Structure 1
Amino acid sequence: MRRSRSTRNAPHPPPESGEALRLVEVRKVYGDEGTRVTALAGVSLSLPHGTFTAVMGPSGSGKSTLLHCAAGLEEPDAGRVFVDGHELGGRSETALTRFRRAHIGFVFQQFNLLPTLTVTQNTTLPLKLAGRPIDHAAARAVLERVGLGQRLDHLPGQLSGGERQRVAIARALVTRPGVVLADEPTGALDSHSAREVLELLQETVRGYGRTVVMVTHDPVAAAYADVVVFLADGQLAGRMASPTARAVAERLTHLGDAAQQGIGG
């Protein structure tokens, strides 16, 4: 059960109105005494609205933990998380679930589509779960924009991997969230499908005005983002604007070498 612990007394200013996502000294530790692993060691990060950010780092650097804390799927041991100016801490599990459904879209590597539901039904499922009215015309418009206007009644098993990930992105957009979080969204795709999905995530930012945060291990995928944020040993280890695949790969190599030598980021 989620703890209703609040960190509101911490002496940090509230997020500014232009911030879509803000983490303030977020710390997350797994394990017990003797097996303790620090996944996030006081990470602070601010991302403005309407941006596409890739999060990268060596294996075990804390990438997925950062994304899960930002989504409210895991609770930090310390620190504060704000989404669209609203703090996640101190909410009950029910209240947090309601907040996620209204403000956060999530795209998973393995799509997480229900095999017995059609493309349209999978897309509108978050609205149904939230008890919100389903605007079928709006859902169709989203699906047409992601290139699935001719697949509305198809089942996931009748779609390619790239098409299934497009359904997942449409599902993340249908509730009109401010922030879309994507965890290795191209990891299960071939290069052609991956490129289409990455272009669609760019369109999510530029066409829909959403904020996208994507965890990836692929420098080519990261090059589609506006900014890359690097993690090493649970700490921020730099950022890169206007990234190229080559520059990202070189930075990752240095971070990986440092991690193997035990000197962090």
Structure 2
Amino acid sequence: MTDAVRLDAVSKVYGKGQGAVAALREVSAAFTRGSFTAVMGPSGSGKSTFLHCAAGLDVPSSGSVRLGGTELAGMDETALTVLRRQRVGFVFQAFNLVSSLTVLDNVTLPLRLAGVRVDSAWLAEVVRRVGLEGRTGHLPAQLSGGQQQRVAIARALVTRPEVVFGDEPTGALDTMTARDVLTLLREVVDGMGQTVVMVTHDPVAASYADTVLFLADGRIVDAMAAPTSEKVAERMTRLGAWK
């Protein structure tokens, strides 16, 4: 299987009858293993719904979502929870760390929740790669925002997931710190063969990806390979994201 995640004709409708709102309309997309994809679009274009359906956080109204060889349709919430815990990593805008746990305990939390033994060699490798050596005994409040996001990335990687989903992972960071985190995500793809799918509103963030998908009104309306921040910004302006 070359695709880490595949969506086929995925639609998502919220509500019923006259109040129904279509957040996604027959969206198809495939994310190759070892690729970095940014998803962009104006506010209300369906970016978050797209991410949630692809990651098994939300169930499509119709269509198919496959994680590797596994079809998510028809799985109950318990099975989806196990799948997300074992095979998917998440990095959010709000770092979502447990304030009373050390860096090390935050990173290993998904393994403990799953009842999986910690592979100390892999844990050390992840900590080293995200640049947290010497910080593992700290609490989140003792870290900068960028360091906290590095903890979140390490937590996403420690289970060796098939794909890491980022929802505005640099949205709460200043420009220089955001650049460090984006460089780390790029290294995760290039150096570790990880697959990253990231929703962002920032053309500079999108320029770190291999491909950018553009959503508008719940549909994928364009894709851009080898993006630059200038080309992405220009395309977003034509989508009506910025006037």
TM-score (norm 2): 0.97
Q: Which runs of 5+ in 2 are unaligned?
A: none
Amino acid in the other structure paired with 1:110: A
Amino acid in the other structure paired with 1:250: E
What are the equivalent positions in structure 2 for 1:21-100 lying under 5 Å apart?
21-100=5-84
Task: Indicate whether 1:197 and 2:181 are aligned.
Answer: yes
Moved more, 97-106 or 160-169: 97-106
Query: 173, 193, 203: which one pairs with 1:209?
Result: 193
Amino acid in the other structure paired with 1:80: S
What are the equivalent positions in structure 2 for 1:1-265 lying under 5 Å apart?
17-256=1-240
Structure 1 runs of 4+ aligned residues shifted over 2 Å read 31-35, 135-138
Alpha-carbon separation, structure 2, partners of 1:226 and 1:161: 26
Amino acid in the other structure paired with 1:98: V
Alpha-carbon separation, structure 2, partners of 1:138 and 1:49: 20
C-alpha root-mean-square deviation of aligned residues, in Å? 1.3
Alpha-carbon separation, structure 2, partners of 1:147 and 1:86: 33
Alpha-carbon separation, structure 1, partners of 2:115 and 2:240: 46
Does the 8 Å CA contact 1:62/1:234 hold for their aligned counterparts?
yes
Moved more, 158-167 or 35-44: 35-44
**What fraction of aligned residue pairs are identical, expressed as a percent?**
61
TM-score (norm 1): 0.89
Alpha-carbon separation, structure 2, partners of 1:154 and 1:126: 18
Alpha-carbon separation, structure 2, partners of 1:244 and 1:32: 41
Alpha-carbon separation, structure 2, partners of 1:41 and 1:195: 33
How many residue pairs match? The answer is: 243
Alpha-carbon separation, structure 2, partners of 1:136 and 1:49: 25
**Per-residue CA distance 1:203-225 (angstroms, 9 max, x = gap):** 11111101100000000000000
Q: Which has the higher contact order (CA 8 A, sep 6+)?
A: 2
Alpha-carbon separation, structure 2, partners of 1:149 and 1:20: 30
**Per-residue CA distance 1:114-151 (angstroms, 9 max, x = gap):** 00000000000000001101223321221111110010
The residue that corresponds to 1:9 in the other structure is none
